[in-house]
Amino acid sequence: MPQKKATLIGLLAILLWSAIVGLIKTVSEGFGPVGGAALIYSASAVLLIFTVGLPKLRSFPRRYLIIGSVLFVCYELCLSLSLGFTHSGRQAIEVGMVNYLWPSLTIVLAVIVNRQKTHPLIIPGVLLAVAGICRVLGGDQGFSFSEIANNVMDNPLSYGLALSGAVIWAVYCVVTKKIANGSNGITLFFILTALTLWLKFLLSPQPPFVLSVGVCISLALAAMAMGFGYAAWNVGILHGNVTILAAASYFIPIISSLLAAFILRSHLTVAFWQGTAMVSLGSLMCWWSTRVRKA
């Protein structure tokens, strides 16, 4: 496959992933936080079976199967439920932004674990990303710690799950790279995530499904964004320009907020966009800090 075509397919994955925040929230409003997530991951798993295929488990390192499965399932649970349990579309977008701390955390963890040489630029990069989250949560009050605290305490479960998810995904990215040995268990991981969500759905009280054409369309789009997103990213990473894809991925917070605001019909303030830009720029600085030294 030509590199340009593969790179475009990889960029398509970024666009698909950026739509996930708004779509998950919409689906949860019709099927409930747990039921909606279970349906999304079930449908995504089916799509991955046809696009990526079923994995040959015997060829996978045992540590990757166990550790990778646990980390992936935990992250996806944190992501989907943190969005599903939000009280409004605006809060869902804010929670999604907290989750986007994972790029900066991944680079910091990789530097620590792999003892990777890096440029001091990584320090202001991390601080800028964290400050961006504070700017988002502070709203029009700016960096008001009381406003941030009030915002978080309005729904500590969602914000806590989002932050936990960011940490878990950073660990997943660093750890699985060392133990996967080239294996790709994404289809298996999605199946396990769906099964875990259905188990929770069956074992705990759930709200009734509220079916509508819009919710069903959102479910189909969310499943495609998840399933085709991972498949497209795999093509891009294997055959495309990895540098372009890596740099573009750090703008997901901005693209995601734009799409989520449109899908959820939410008005986002100037302060929010300032914080979002800070998160993206901070993550980009962290990524660049690992490349400057190499040059």
Helix (H, G, I), strand (E, B) or coil at 34: helix
- The answer to whether residue 295 scores a pLDDT higher than 70 is no
Please tell me the total count of domains within the chain. 1
- Torsion sign across C-alpha atoms 244, 249, 250, 253: positive
Domain interval for residue 275: 3-292
CB 48 within 8 A of CB 186: yes
Q: Tens of pLDDT along 199-252?
A: 999 998 888 888 889 899 999 999 999 988 888 887 887 678 877 887 888 889
pLDDT digits (tens, 9 = 90+) for 157-178: 999 999 999 999 999 988 888 8
Structure tokens belonging to residue 266: 């939410």
Structure tokens at 130: 């964290």
What is the model's pTM? Answer: 0.90
Per-residue confidence band for 66, with pLDDT thresholds at 50, 70 and 90: very high
Percent of all residues in the chain with a pLDDT value above 90, rounded to a whole number: 53
Asked if residue 294 has pLDDT above 60, the reply is no
3-state SS, residue 78: helix
pLDDT above 70 (res 62): yes
Q: What is the DSSP string of 66-87?
A: IIIHHHHHHHHHHHHHHHHT-S
Query: Looking at this protein, which amino acid is placed at residue 156?
Result: P
